[in-house]
Amino acid sequence: MECYKIYSGGATTTDIYSNYITDSKIFRIYIGEYDDEFGYKCKTVGDTIIVDKLTNIHTNNTRVVKTTKFSINKLAKEHIFE
């Protein structure tokens, strides 16, 4: 996963980052933004990348609000680079 800071909140608000899943050569897919409330967890199972969007990431009440699955072979064949 790659992360890029897209907004710096300074001393008064939070920073915002864009997240991508990538192999750094053939594909890069935008999966969303994260900040102090939302974040992402990725894992690979065989040919599948499973991306969980999490809420309440800095508490003991973290929960998954959305799960998305990507086929590595399909991403490589389609050469998607966002």
- Give pLDDT, residue 46: 95
Residues contacting residue 28 through CB under 8 Å, at least 6 positions apart: 2, 20, 21, 22, 80, 81, 82
Domain with 23, as residue range(s), is: 2-78
Residues 14-67: tens digit of each pLDDT:
788 888 988 888 898 999 888 878 888 899 999 999 999 998 887 888 899 999
pTM: 0.78
> Total structural domains in the chain?
1
Partners of 20 in the β-ladder: 2, 30
